[in-house]
Chains A and B, each alone.
Chain A
């Protein structure tokens, strides 16, 4: 109960957002497309928050976040297919289970690779992402339902505004509380100085693993919601470009900032989809020319991220 009282402001704000969006959707003021994009931006916020815990708060760089997002998406889609889930309420345990499984996957992967640092960690996570893509492309060989390189089809559309918004708000609150708990303190101290953290008695290996698997859990939940929003999954949705998407959101939002991630998620999805509207169809390829350019300029201008001020 305390949990809800302490965060009443945020809950009230979420309720307001819900009311406003519901009115807009019910009266058909926004098109189906915009509705989908809005839900998608919440999903991106959840998954990016995961990367922010891993990279922004704990300082462990990852280029393979999309793989965990993909694990969550494929697991939840497989679960709904096997158990023939169609409603929101029976979907919740499936979503939670796929998130937990993704967290476990993150734990198992994290044990070896979190021993590495900086650019070696980057190349190892990139390697994992590439391996995962190869696995997905050949997934129909061991489980026909996963579809391999043809894609996973026939997922029921379950994700709606109520589900997405409540999951997003709930996870944001949990993440905030975790960050300000003693574990969050350990994570931030590892980011500031790993050696010093060891010397004051923090079990850095364990804490890094914890942050990594929690971040992967968030990615898994995001992936599960994504699968049941677009009802179609393809291996190309979970490659390095997707990981770059999350990375950009974390960087724009400022590393180690929850509100920053929320704003950046909304801005980024709006920007990407805006480009889709503004650019004529034959120029759509220009998007992936503009995005890396933005990334380069962003790094030159503000190497520590945009929205938050640099600490220290």
Chain B
């Protein structure tokens, strides 16, 4: 009984981390879908989301639901600017040039924001917007933070689903990711669709940043690097370009990370994620849900 409870508790903790990874992974997978680009700067947008929320909560004492909305708009704006300034001039350039630019954008954001005049490179305590309450469910406990994370992730996923499968804009996104040239022939504005995809992805990463800040209340300008890479791995695991694949992948990565830290050692948790990546790339590069055999 004891061990089942412990396992369930770790499972819940894994879901909590996985939910954040899923939110970030969605941005990677959507951008990869429309642009065939690993947007390395995505993890830094996630970091920016946490920092914006930090300032909104600690300096302006804004209610939590408004924090979510404002942060989403801000990160979406940043995503839009990054796409317009850095990636758009490179349409049609070699794939690797685009990738190098993405690495450059990511490093620039990290080191620019870590200057002493801006956020500094120190760890900052993230203010809890509410008291933590534990709900004891006999076998395991759930905190109100976890409930907030699951609820927010759930709502975001439903909204995203409606956006992609029930609106015209979503149809355009799917068309562009299917075949860019043919989509252009059908009268879809490619540039606008790509910008829109970046904005949606960045807004989701912003939400992920707030949730991460609330759940693990220590923020730092480099906090986005590892979650960013892990979320990308989650997207690859689920099948890059596939929306529900990214979500499932995020949960798998989150749960495995928590279980490895709980049963082996927390020093190995990053290593295990990369072992997963190597296994996926070697055994089924198209991911769990990928149908098309990609020429990788």
Contacts and interface: CB of A to CB of B under 8 A. Distances in A.
The answer on A and B forming one complex is: yes
Interface of A: 61, 63, 112-113, 115-120, 122-124, 126-128, 130-131, 134-135, 137-138, 241, 244, 247, 251, 282, 285-286, 288-289, 291-293, 295-296, 299-300, 303-304
A127 B274 contact: yes
Given A116-B296, A285-B114, A131 B274 contact: yes
10 contacts: A61-B96, A115-B282, A119-B37, A122-B38, A124-B277, A126-B229, A137-B267, A138-B267, A293-B104, A296-B108
A123 B111 contact: no
Contact of A299 (B100, B232, B270): B100
A299 B98 CA distance: 8
Contacts of A303: 90, 93-94, 97
A182 to B, nearest CB: 26
A289 to B, nearest CB: 5
A135 B115 CA distance: 29
A134 B274 CA distance: 11
Contact of A112 (B36, B96, B278, B296): B278
Contacts of B90: 299-300, 303
A127 B38 contact: no
A172 B218 CA distance: 48
B116 interface: yes
B103 A63 contact: yes
Interface of B: 36-38, 86, 89-90, 93-101, 103-108, 111-112, 114-116, 229, 232-233, 236, 267, 270-271, 274, 277-278, 281-282, 285, 295-296
Contacts of B97: 299, 303-304
Contacts, number: 113
Nearest to A287: B111
Given A292-B108, A299-B90, A300-B89, A127 B101 contact: no
Contact of B94 (A117, A123, A300, A304): A304
A296 B105 contact: yes
A118 B294 CA distance: 13
B270 A134 contact: yes
B112 to A, nearest CB: 5
Given A288-B107, A296-B86, A303-B94, A112 B267 contact: no
B281 A244 contact: no
Contacts of A123: 38, 229, 232-233, 236, 277
Contact of A130 (B270, B281, B295): B270
B107 A291 contact: yes
Given A299-B93, A300-B89, A289 B281 contact: no
Nearest to B225: A240
A123 B240 CA distance: 13
B81 to A, nearest CB: 13
A285 B108 contact: no
Nearest to A305: B97
Contacts of B103: 63, 244, 292, 295
Contacts of B229: 123, 126-127, 130
Given A61-B96, A117-B296, A123-B277, 9 more contacts: A118-B96, A119-B36, A120-B296, A128-B274, A288-B107, A292-B107, A296-B86, A299-B97, A299-B98
Given A112-B282, A117-B296, A251-B100, A292 B94 contact: no
A266 B108 CA distance: 24
A115 B284 CA distance: 12
A131 B267 CA distance: 11
B111 A292 contact: yes
Contacts of A131: 270-271, 274
B281 A116 contact: yes
A289 B104 CA distance: 10
A296 B95 CA distance: 14
Contacts of A296: 86, 101, 104-105, 108
A289 B101 CA distance: 14
Contacts of A118: 95-96, 99
Contacts of A126: 229
Given A120-B285, A299-B101, A289 B108 contact: yes
Contacts of B104: 292-293, 295-296, 299
A264 B98 CA distance: 21
A119 B95 contact: yes
A63 B281 CA distance: 16
Nearest to B240: A120
B6 to A, nearest CB: 26
Nearest to B88: A300
A285 B271 CA distance: 29
Contacts of A282: 116
A120 B281 contact: yes
A123 B232 CA distance: 9
A95 B107 CA distance: 33
A265 B295 CA distance: 35
A299 B114 CA distance: 24
B93 to A, nearest CB: 4
Contact of B277 (A127, A244, A299): A127
A244 B40 CA distance: 14
Nearest to A251: B100
Nearest to A138: B267
A229 to B, nearest CB: 26
A282 B105 CA distance: 23
Contacts of A292: 103-108, 111
B69 to A, nearest CB: 31
Contacts of A120: 236, 281, 285, 296
B274 A130 contact: yes
